[in-house]
Amino acid sequence: MPRGFPKLFRRRTLLVVISLCLFTNTSDLAPVYAEEDKPNIVIILADDLGYGDLSCLNPESKIPTPRIDELAAAGMVFTDAHTPSSVCTPTRYGLLTGRYCWRTRLKQSVLLGFDRPLIEPGRATIASFLRAHGYATCAIGKWHLGLGWQNAEGKPVTDKDGTTNDPGVDYTKPITEGPLTVGFDYFFGIAASLDMAPYCYIENDRVTAIPTEPTEGQGFPASWRAGMRAKDFRHEEVVDRLAEAAERWLRQHKATRPHQPFFLYYSLTAPHTPVLPLPAFRGKSQAGLYGDFVVQVDATVGRLVDLLRELGYWENTILILTSDNGSTMTIRSEFQKYGHATNYIFRGQKSDIWEGGHRVPFIVTWPGGIPPGTRCDRAICLVDILPTVAEILGRPLPPGAAEDGVSFAPLLRDPDVNWRRPPFVMHSIQGYFAIRDGEWKLIECRGSGGWSLPENKVPKDAPAMQLYHLGRDIRETTNLYPAEHKRAAELLAKLRNIRGDQPVNKQSNE
């Protein structure tokens, strides 16, 4: 039996060990697991998947997601999970490091395909932590955290973020910084989003084929930027190619290292644009091509789960399924006609500081450790994953690691335990902040902070900030800031304390 959490244990001695793990400083603990008993860890990070896209979270969803619904029934559904940012790159940084991205040079927006690496040398990640504790580590899919591209002279090709065209990459040279330098043993994927050049696959630190063919930019639903493409790269095939890579790595791992625990970071490229569902999935939803693409995502998740079962890994695998931010389809006129609430009842969408920008699906399964069919309504953030993993293993994090994360391991044992997340911060594409403390949420701007309602469209007489009580107003319709100045001031002080009151330049990534 895998050494999971106490509810599934019959031996009282093990119950004592795990309880100590959950409520004691892990630095004082001996290893909880024998090497062969350590749980495998899989994180599936969907790209732009909305909370309301899943039928297990949205009873009125017009998209069938039976395989993800199976995960929800088999494990624990978190209804109040948040990304630290409402866009791609910052969330990925926060998930892997347990640190807010606005503490780095990236103060707004996202990186592009040729930008330099964002994760600092020596920064602990989930991958480096787990590798140090005996795990094989693999990253498949969308990276979007910058890469160490070189030019013909062997020098970095960019010294400033924001390059949209190829700045002179010599694709015959290895990538000097990337997944392999932050803790991953193996990588197969793409540089950034599927709508950003370069359009080529990368295996470890090399491209599999040099981008030599120009491709013109496409409008919605294809939606990709102009750039160079490798001959073996077709946008509509990428989801499947990545699934095959994940499956290939898992089979090889089983064949060569069957007793070594593994960490698989499976970063999907969908349902982010370009929206290109394969023919087999077209017409499978009542939400147009986007809905059909989500159906393909659901089937892709199912493929991986089936393989984990086939290889005998399922019972001792912790699998987390989540998304990097909310969906962007709320502003697409082509999509609105279907009447599907892609971000459920929440206000706003990807890029925004409102709930629709950062409240995301979060499902955890662990047959050996989490009772099936459970639900947790406590607030958590994706920066919490690294400290949670550390607590589950009973091992201390390196000094200075995951400075913004808090372990929610006790919730996996008992979703009703006396546990509450300390105040945490969300960040919008334009660089605006919100802080969540219990049911209260303060937004440090007048509007959405993103694409839904740019600052220049906010009424001039609108209050300077927004304050909502989410327990009474989950749709964020009534701004209490004018009437609750004292509470707002308290929250603002907490935000400034977390931020260190450092100057945050929303107009520059430097």
Q: Report pTM.
A: 0.92
Q: What residues form DSSP beta bridges with 250?
A: none
Q: Identify the CA nearest to 376 among candidates 320, 441, 325, 424.
A: 320
Q: Cβ–Cβ contacts within 10 Å for residue 113, how many?
A: 26
pLDDT of residue 82: 98
Beta-strand relationship, 136-142 and 262-271: parallel
At 345, phi and psi to the nearest 5? -90, 5
**39-65 core/surface letters (b: 16 or more CB in 10 A; e: else):** bbbbbbbbbbbbbbbbbbbbeebbbbb
User: Distance from first CA to last CA of the chain, Å, rounded?
Assistant: 51
pLDDT tens digit at each of 510 positions of the chain: 333 333 332 222 222 222 333 333 433 333 456 666 899 999 999 999 999 999 999 999 999 999 999 999 999 999 999 999 999 999 999 999 999 999 999 999 999 999 999 999 999 999 999 999 999 999 999 999 999 999 999 999 875 555 567 889 999 999 999 999 999 999 999 999 999 999 999 999 999 999 999 999 999 999 999 999 999 999 999 999 999 999 999 999 999 999 999 999 999 999 999 999 999 999 999 999 999 999 999 999 999 999 999 999 999 999 999 999 999 998 787 888 999 999 999 999 999 999 999 999 999 999 989 999 999 999 999 999 999 999 999 999 999 999 999 999 999 999 999 999 999 999 999 999 999 999 999 999 999 999 998 878 888 889 999 999 999 999 999 999 999 999 999 999 999 999 997 655 443 332
**Residues 206/175, Cβ–Cβ less than 8 Å:** yes
Distances (CA, A) of 509 to 104, 105, 110, 112, 420: 9, 6, 9, 12, 33
How far apart CA 407 and CA 389 sit, in angstroms, is 8
**Which tens digit of pLDDT belongs to each residue from 125-141?**
999 999 999 999 999 99
Q: Identify the CA nearest to 207 among candidates 181, 240, 231.
A: 231
